[in-house]
Amino acid sequence: MKEEVFEQRIREYTPNMYRLAYGILQNHEDAQDAVGETILRAFEKIHTLRRPECFRTWLMQITANEAKKIYAGNKRRIPAENMEDLMPDFCDDYHELWDVVMGLEMVYREAVLLYFYERLTIREIAKALHVPEGTVKSRLSRGKKLLREKLSDQ
């Protein structure tokens, strides 16, 4: 992949990277760091990407990993009661699903974000999260059940 194409596609998928990183980390500073690290990591590893058409999926997998690395050593984790103040801005008032997803536990949240927002397949999510496909399926199933319950409560 040529550098200009790489740059163009990074810019194209910046919103996706940030949304996924924010969804996992739940704060702007860390999400922004994760996006930055993802760009550097992607450039370092671009020669390993054999199928350019898989760039977006591959980038989302790296983003998930970088975000989880930050999450693992996170010192800026936000207490749940303050989360509302730190929600990102949306174009309109329509962010009902996002609000509910943010209340899920990490294991369900990351699977839901990758599946419903980033449209990765079960197999791609399994690879991104380094868990078996069966685990992804069960986390998604549980995540959907929780979403249904929470959405119906609203």
Partner 1 sequence: MKNKADELEQDLFRMAQREKMILPETVYKEVDDKLSEIHQAKRLGRMTWKRAVILAAALVAMCSLTVTAAVGALQRRMEAMNEREMEDYFVQIYTSRLGADNYSRPLTDAERERMDGLRTSYEEEAVFPEKILTMISSPEEYSGKGVAFYKDTSTFFLPEESMSDEELLEVIDFVYKRDYSLQAMNQKIEEGEISFPAQQIAQQGAQQIAGEEAAGEEETATGKETAAASKGTIQNPGQELTIPYTGDLAFQYIASGQNCIYLAGESCIHRMKIGSSDSELFFDGFEKETYVNAMYEDKKGNLYLGLNVRMDENDDSADSGITIGGVRYKTWLWILNADREVIRKVDIASLLKQEYGVRSRMITRIVVDEQGYVYVRAAFLWDVLLLVLDEQGNYIRSVTSEEFNCHDLGGLGIGKDGRVYTQIQTKNRMGIASVDPVKGSLDQIYMDIVPEGTIMLDIVAPGSDTDFVFWGYDGIFTYNLGEDKALNVLPAYEAPCNWEGVMYCALPDGRIVFADCSQYSHEGEKIKSVPENITFYYKSTLTQG
Name the residues that contact partner 1, by CB under 8 A: 3, 7, 10-11, 14-15, 18-19, 22, 28, 31-32, 35-36, 39-41, 43-48, 50, 61-62, 65, 88-92, 94-98, 116-117, 119, 130-132, 135, 144, 147-148
* Residue from 14, 18, 15 nearest 26 by CA: 18
| Closest distance to partner 1 from the beta carbon of 79 (Å) | 21
Q: How far apart are the first and last CA of the chain?
A: 46
25: tokens are: 């980390």
Query: Under DSSP, is residue 73 helix (H, G, I), strand (E, B) or coil?
Result: coil
Q: Going by C-beta distance under 8 Å and a sequence separation of 6 or more, which residues neighbour residue 149?
A: none
| Closest distance to partner 1 from the beta carbon of 36 (Å) | 5
| Closest distance to partner 1 from the beta carbon of 81 (Å) | 22
Report which residue type is found at 134.
Answer: G
Q: Which of 53/91 has CB closer to partner 1? A: 91
